[in-house]
Chains A and B, each alone.
Chain A
Amino acid sequence: MERVISKVTFDLAQTSLRQVNHFLHRELNSETPKITLLNPDGAHNLAVGLDATIDVEIMGHTGYYTASMNKQATITIFGNAGTGVAENMMSGRVHVKGFASVSAGASAHGGLLVIDGDASLRCGISLKGADIVVGGSVGSFSAFMAQAGRIVICGNAGDALGDSLYEAVIYIRGQIKSLGADAQIEPMMEADYQTVGELLAQAGLSYQPQDFKRVASARQLYHWNADADQEY
């Protein structure tokens, strides 16, 4: 039986954000529709909290928290994303074709966030299990207190990369301006090359895994050391 793919288009210059998000939450039919959103014009909270295997294409630049709390959906932004894109994502895939502002993928639990351009400060802050692939560079304090998940950075990182990391792992191809407290560069093992290769392939990027370094927690902050004079 041929599967019918319905296509729905909303123009945010004509339809309110609330109506669009209502449709995405409540009015999806049993088929797998492809939804296109035109003229986002920097609107906040677009396609947030989705929970269906649907494809959403956003044709332009978005405001804060686009695709946050996403479950299952594949959301592509053909433009730049504002603060907190894919924040707290649980599963699914979010792809930013332009650059992402601060706190991209903050505290995301699962799924994949791909940013073709640069990500600003605090990318992957408090990451809890999602994967992030950044085609460009990331700003300072990226992966701060990241607990689980993987971040692949094809460009450079700003100051304090991976400060107070838990068990998330960072792979970076370019220069690190400075490492954060308790973050250290570690040797790449076979499993690391494989991970990087897989994530790059999922993101559609063709860099060589051999060019990446691994940054992970030295785990010195896991236990309070009263003799350390708080020098960390």
Chain B
Amino acid sequence: MCGIIGLLIKQPHLRDSLGELTVPMLIGMGERGPDSAGLAVFTQTLADPYRKYSLYSGGKDFPWQDLSQALQTQMSKEAELQPHGNQAVLTTDLPSTTLKPWLKAHYPQLHVLSTGRAIDLYKDAGNPTEVADRYHFKDLKGSHVVAHTRMATESAVTPAHAHPFTAGEDFCLVHNGSLSNPNEIRRKLEPRGIHFETDNDTEAACRFLEWRMREGDDLATALQKGFEALDGFYTFLMGTADKLALVRDAFACKPAVVAETDEYVAIASEFRSLAHLPQVKHAHIYEPAPEEIYVWNV
């Protein structure tokens, strides 16, 4: 099992309530995924060349202020740092090709969970209720969110194996299901210089789709190629800076249900995570069909 959750706010005045609406959805899928949880939130897009980096420290007492100061003294760059316990969002205009090697050299215990102009990402091992509390999910604001509750079936329970997975910039993916050919995908991508961080099957799907888009495919074309390349069971929910997208495999073994109103599009593995949304009784509710591409724009 696993639970997927997505919410895209159509009315800008509701963006301040994104986190508040998302948390009950996430907790509603807690039974489907009690071992880890994570969430990517898409906020207003930063001006180029600024980027946001969601960092995971592993320990509870990471000296975030030191990192901030070191960046200033060693790189002569201002960096805004918003810590949330063992994670922090770093905002800077330092090129990522400079920042990432520098972080790796000076702070090898830090993991970069996401990079982009709109995405912030939080994920950790633990019950979804605890993870939501730990990172104050209810206070999050933004246009759309992609979230996941994990019940591990094919690789270890660690923060790095939690979803969402990211690749490139402003792209994330969550997965309910299991792929049968992640190693084949990996063997295809690694010789192209694409680096994997875990042995998780979902990471292969995430990196495959991001690679296709980097090669020039739009999201729909990349997903079409995904239907051919990815073997196994899946409901994938993806987020980009301005879109949510969802696909299910041909057998639709893994569930998904959508509720759409004038105010939002909400997606969950099961209706019980949508039942408490405002006006859901008047929402257009449907199950996405297998092998069809659903894309919702901000």
Residues of A participating in the B interface, judged by any CB pair closer than 8 Å: 39, 41-44, 60-61, 63-64, 80, 82-83, 98-99, 101-102, 120-121, 139-141
Alpha-carbon distance A83/B32, docked complex (angstroms): 14
Q: Would B252 and A82 count as touching, CB distance under 8 A?
A: no
Select from chain B the residue with minimum beta-carbon distance to A83: B255
Residue contact B290 to A61, C-beta cutoff 8 Å: no
- Among residues 250 to 298 in chain B, which have CB atoms less than 8 Å away from a CB atom of chain A? 250-252, 255, 257, 270-276, 285-287, 289-290
Which residues of B sit under 8 angstroms from A82, Cβ to Cβ? 255, 270-271
Q: Is the CB of A140 within 8 A of B290?
A: yes
Q: Which of B270, B285, B286, B290 sits near A63, CB closer than 8 Å?
A: B270
CB distance from A104 to the nearest CB of B (A): 12
B276 contact from A41, A120, A140, Cβ within 8 A = A41
Complex alpha-carbon distance, A63 and B29, angstroms: 12
Q: Mark B207-222, 1 if CB is under 8 A from A, else 0.
A: 0000000000000000
Chain B residues with CB under 8 Å of A101's CB are 255, 257, 287
7 residue pairs from A and B, CB less than 8 Å apart: A42-B274, A43-B272, A61-B275, A101-B257, A101-B287, A139-B289, A140-B250
Nearest neighbor of B256 in chain A, beta-carbon distance:
A101
* B residues lining the A interface (CB < 8 Å): 250-252, 255, 257, 270-276, 285-287, 289-290
Q: Which of A39, A41, A43 has the most CB of B within 10 A?
A: A41
Known contacts A41-B276, A101-B287; is-contact A61 B252 (Cβ 8 Å): no
Contact B275 A120 (CB under 8 A): no
B252 and A139 contacting across the interface, CB-CB below 8 Å: yes
> A63 and B271: CB pair below 8 A?
yes
Using CB atoms, name the residue of chain B closest to A100.
B287
Chain A contacts of B274 at CB under 8 A? Answer: 42
User: When chains A and B are docked, how far (Å) is the Cα of A41 from the Cα of B271?
Assistant: 7
Q: How far is the CA of A214 from the CA of B270 in the complex (A)?
A: 35
Residues of chain A with a CB closer than 8 A to B286's CB:
99
Check A121/B272 contact, CB under 8 A, given A61-B285, A140-B290. Answer: no
Given the complex of chains A and B, what is the CA–CA distance between A121 and B256 in angstroms? 13
CA distance A42 to B3 in the complex (A): 14
Q: Which residues from B are CB-within-8-Å of A102?
A: 252, 255
Whether B252 lies near A80 (C-beta < 8 A) is: no
* Given A101-B255, A139-B252: A80 touches B270 (CB 8 Å cut-off): no
